[in-house]
Amino acid sequence: MFSPVSNFYEHSQNETVSIENLNEELWILHIPAVIFVLICVILGFFGNSLVVYIYSSKKFRRSNHRYFILCLAFLDLIGCLIGGSHMTYSLRMPYLMTSTAICKISRYIHHLVNQGSAFLLVVIAIERFNKLCRPFKIQFSHRQTRLQCVLSVSFSALVSFPAAVLYGSSTISTGVRNITGTTCFITDEFRGSTFSTIYMIYLLFETVLITIVIGVLYTFIILKIWSYRNLALSDSMHSEHALQNAESDGDKICSHSLEEHNDNDQNLARSNSIDKDSKMTCTEIKDGDINEKDVTSGNDDILAGKCSNTMHHAINIGTITFLGTDSLNRVKKSWKNC
The CATH number covering residue 72 comes to 1.20.1070.10
The better pLDDT of the pair 250, 64 is held by 64
In this prediction, residues 75-99 reach a mean pLDDT of 92
Q: Are residues 147 and 190 in the same domain?
A: yes
If you average pLDDT over every residue of the chain, what do you get? 76
Q: Which ranges constitute the DSSP H helices of the chain?
A: 4-10, 19-55, 64-78, 84-92, 100-133, 142-159, 161-166, 194-271, 300-320, 325-337
In this prediction, residues 167-177 reach a mean pLDDT of 88
Nearest partner of 157 among 112, 114, 118, 200, judged by Cα: 112
pLDDT at residue number 6? 54
Q: Are residues 178 and 278 in the same domain?
A: no
Q: Is residue 240 part of a domain?
A: no
Q: Are residues 200 and 263 in the same domain?
A: no
* Cα 214 from Cα 323, distance rounded (Å): 57
Query: Rounded to 5 degrees, what angle do the CA atoms 114, 104, 193 make?
Result: 90
* Cα 30 from Cα 213, distance rounded (Å): 37
pLDDT of 225 strictly over 70: yes
- What is 259-270 written as a DSSP string? HHHHHHHHHHHH
Structure confidence by residue, pLDDT tens digits, 232-244: 777 666 666 666 6
pLDDT of 75 strictly over 90: yes
Choose the weakest-confidence range: 209-218, 258-267, 275-284.
Answer: 275-284
- Domain span at residue 42 reads 4-219
Q: Is the dihedral of CA 180, 182, 183, 185 positive or negative?
A: positive
Pairing label, strands 280-286, 167-173: unpaired
The structural domain count of the chain equals 2
Is residue 130 very low, low, confident or very high in pLDDT (cuts 50, 70, 90)?
A: very high
Q: Is residue 244 part of a domain?
A: no
Are 221 and 208 in contact, with CB atoms under 8 Å apart? no
Q: Which residues of 111-143 are buried (b: 16+ CB within 10 A; e: fewer)?
A: bbbbbbbbbbbbbbbebbbeebeeeeeeebeee
The better pLDDT of the pair 128, 9 is held by 128
* Cα 99 from Cα 69, distance rounded (Å): 34
Q: Identify the domain boundary among 219, 237, 257.
A: 219
Structure confidence by residue, pLDDT tens digits, 304-317: 444 444 444 443 43
Nearest partner of 303 among 276, 331, 280, 330, judged by Cα: 280
pLDDT of 36 strictly over 70: yes
Q: Are residues 14 and 108 in the same domain?
A: yes
Q: Is residue 150 part of a domain?
A: yes
Strand partners, 292: 283
Q: Are residues 146 and 92 in the same domain?
A: yes
Residues 6+ apart with CB under 8 A from 158: none
pLDDT of 277 strictly over 80: no
pLDDT at residue number 179? 87
Q: Are residues 155 and 279 in the same domain?
A: no
316: left (phi over 0), alpha (psi -120 to 50) or beta: alpha
Q: For the packed helices 100-133 and 194-271, what is the interaxial angle rounded to 10 degrees? A: 30
Q: Are residues 170 and 290 in the same domain?
A: no
175: left (phi over 0), alpha (psi -120 to 50) or beta: left
* Cα 219 from Cα 132, distance rounded (Å): 12
Q: Are residues 253 and 210 in the same domain?
A: no
pLDDT at residue number 177? 78
